[in-house]
Amino acid sequence: MSEFPTLQDIVLAAKQKLPNATWDFLTYGSETETTVRRNRRALDSLALVPRIMRDVSEIDIRTSLLGMTLRMPVVLAPVGSIALFDPDGALAAARAVEDFGIAHIVSGYADPGFEAVAKGCKAQLIYAFHPRYDWPFVDDLVDRVVAAGYRAIAFVAEAAYYSRRERDLMSGIQTKAKRTRPYAEWLGLQREERAAGKIPSKEGLLGTVITWEMFDRVKRRSNLPILLKGVTCAADAVLAREHGADVIYVSNHGGRAIDHGRGSVESLAEVIDAVGRQCEVIVDGGFVRGTDVLKAISLGAKAVAMGRMQSWALAAGGQAGLARTLAIIEEEIIVNMGLLGVNRLDELDRGYLAKTDPVALAHPLSAFPVALERIGG
Q: What is the pLDDT of residue 136?
A: 87
Amino acid at 181: R
Q: What is the pLDDT of residue 196?
A: 65
Nearest to 78 by CA among 229, 202, 207, 211: 229
Amino acid at 221: R
> What is the DSSP secondary structure assignment for residue 7, as one 8-state letter?
H
CA 236 to CA 118: how far, in whole Å?
Answer: 31
Provide the whole-model pTM: 0.93
CA 266 to CA 43: how far, in whole Å?
Answer: 8
> How many C-beta atoms lie closer than 10 Å to residue 204's C-beta?
6
Per-residue pLDDT, averaged over 128-150, amounts to 92
Confidence label for 265 from pLDDT (cuts 50, 70 and 90): very high
Residue 193 is assigned to a structural domain of this protein: yes
CA 312 to CA 7: how far, in whole Å?
Answer: 10
> What is the DSSP secondary structure assignment for residue 262, as one 8-state letter?
P
Per-residue pLDDT, averaged over 329-345, amounts to 98
Q: How many domains does the chain have?
A: 1
* Residue-wise pLDDT tens digits, 175-207: 865 544 444 554 555 566 666 665 554 443 345
CATH number of the domain at 112, please.
Answer: 3.20.20.70
Residue 286 is assigned to a structural domain of this protein: yes
Amino acid at 197: G
Cis bond upstream, residue 112 (ω within 30): yes
Q: Is 243 a catalytic residue?
A: no
Confidence label for 137 from pLDDT (cuts 50, 70 and 90): confident
Give the N- to C-terminal CA distance of the chain in Å, as an integer.
28
Confidence label for 130 from pLDDT (cuts 50, 70 and 90): very high
How far apart, in Å, are the Cα atoms of 157 and each of 129, 267, 371? 9, 16, 33
**Sign of the Cα pseudo-torsion (328, 334, 339, 340, in order):** positive
Q: What is the pLDDT of residue 207?
A: 54
CA 6 to CA 332: how far, in whole Å?
Answer: 10
Catalytic option among 104, 130, 243, 253: 253
Instruction: Tell me the pLDDT of the chain averaged across its residues.
Output: 92
Work out the burial of residue 144: count CB atoms within 10 Å of its CB; fewer than 13 is exposed, 13-18 middle, 19 or more buried: middle
Work out the burial of residue 206: count CB atoms within 10 Å of its CB; fewer than 13 is exposed, 13-18 middle, 19 or more buried: middle
Residue 322 is assigned to a structural domain of this protein: yes
Residue 2 is assigned to a structural domain of this protein: no
Residue 245 is assigned to a structural domain of this protein: yes
Q: Which helix (H) or strand (E) segment is 250 a member of?
A: strand 247-250
Nearest to 40 by CA among 369, 374, 375: 369
Residue 1 is assigned to a structural domain of this protein: no
Q: What is the pLDDT of residue 181?
A: 44
Range of the domain at 243: 7-375
Confidence label for 79 from pLDDT (cuts 50, 70 and 90): very high
* Residue-wise pLDDT tens digits, 20-31: 999 999 999 999
> How many C-beta atoms lie closer than 10 Å to residue 303's C-beta?
26
Got the DSSP string for 281-327?
A: EEE-SS--SHHHHHHHHHHT-SEEEESHHHHHHHHHHHHHHHHHHHH
Alpha carbons within 13 angstroms on the beta-carbon side of residue 243 total 23
Q: What is the pLDDT of residue 202?
A: 44
